[in-house]
Amino acid sequence: MTPRPAPALAQALHDRPDAPLCVGYSGGLDSTVLLHLLAAAPRETGLRAVHVHHGLHPQADAWAQHCVQTCAALGVPLEIVHVTVVPDGNGLEAAARAARHAAFERALAPGEVLVLAHHRDDQAETFLLRALRASGPDGLAAMRRWRAFGTGSLWRPLLAHGRDDLQAWAQAHGLSWIDDPSNADTRLDRNFLRQHVLPLLRERWPQADATLAQSAALCAQAHELLDDGDALALAEVTTADPQALSRTRLMALPAARRARVLRQWIASLRLPPLPANGVERIEAELLGARDDAEPEFHWHGVVIRAWRDLLWAGHRRPPLPGDWHADWDGSSPLTLPHGGALRLDGAARFDEALIARARQGGERIALPGRRHSHALKHVLQDLGIPPWERERLPLLFDREGSLLAAGDVALSDAFDRWLRDRGARLCWEPWPLPTPGN
């Protein structure tokens, strides 16, 4: 059979970035065509390929060797990454996809662009799958041509072209590729759509793939508009602490917008996504709670707390152990239990070693400009220090037992004068400092 003329797939590269490219290369038809297109196009930046070896098929080693030979023929450097696929309750296919994306993210260099071979038919399948899972506009937007990924970007240049176009290109250029037999397994949802549902739709609506992909593009536009509105609403309800929102201002938003803002807030803090019932739990248990109720909602090591007008989210941290204490002369940072530190800046050390310990209750402090001491509990309440921060607040005492400081949020009159006379500052870092790249 004589192959029909190859389509002008080269136009798919019209927005090729001026950055090094890394092709996710499985050895199948789609990624083979993509690699061939990129290798044949003029380029001024680097091009390489990464093959993820899942080890799930008896022919996995042979497939990797095929990729080695193809890349060698094209003059494209290839990296083979071995992964272990551990099913997580969402099925082997989802686990393999998660392992593959994690491998790509690890392999991608800063500023490099990961290039994947998803095409219009894949987009139509993804749209249908998400519609069948009752996704909203965000999910129905399906795959984007461009998005941030790891330390670089992800580019899908073939999304406007169908599988038939790729097949014609491969035949016209004599390319060889791997046919993964698992693609015929209709127990997998995507394969069932590909083998049974979409062919039936095309009988009635020949342009079904294109129209479904266009619907995904329209949802992507709606998603961008919604995202813009969410960002504005989030800015309106955020407090000086990005980990805390104003409950009053949040409750003033329409319920649908409030749900989106809560999800975007959690994403902006790089916390695990809210569970399916997360927004419902926050609405029912936290937003309308009394100011002194201190309710909490937990998931995956994360907690959302309500206190006064605040809704606070972050990783769960244990309080300072009640029996913790340490001598500290200020010459080097004092590491606190469970992370964080106290630090003296601007002075070599204290005149004498101080005693750091956890709160026991009943402490009093003589604040600057005050004639009498005050209960530390009331001072912290007046300063608006949330209960979960008070639990981790280290106290500093002199050798006679006078309270000098509660973290860096409350200083005694004498200690404040000592610091000012020396141009020094006490700093409390309640959480471990992030490591570079995190």
| Residue 373 assigned ligand-binding role | no
| Residue 30 assigned ligand-binding role | yes
Using CB atoms within 10 A of its CB, is residue 262 exposed (0-12), middle (13-18) or buried (19+)? buried
Beta-sheet pairing, 47-53 with 21-24: parallel
Query: To which residue do tokens 């890394």 refer?
Result: 22
Beta-sheet pairing, 374-375 with 395-397: unpaired
Show the CA angle centred on residue 209, arms to residues 208 and 211, nearest 5°: 65
Residues 6+ apart with CB under 8 A from 106: 81, 150
Alpha carbons 65 and 73: distance in angstroms, whole number: 12
Distances (CA, A) of 359 to 98, 316, 339, 369, 412: 44, 19, 17, 24, 16
Please provide residue 281's backbone torsions phi and psi, each rounded to the nearest 5 degrees.
Answer: -65, -45
| Residue 26 assigned ligand-binding role | yes
| The 296-299 sheet, strands edge to edge | 244-246, 310-315, 302-307, 296-299
In eight-state DSSP terms, residue 9 is G
| Residue 29 assigned ligand-binding role | yes
Nearest to 40 by CA among 87, 74, 5: 74
In eight-state DSSP terms, residue 436 is T
The first and second tokens of residue 93, run together, are 């296919």
| Residue 31 assigned ligand-binding role | yes
Q: Which residues are annotated as a binding site for ATP?
A: 26-31
Q: Which residues are annotated as a binding site?
A: 26-31
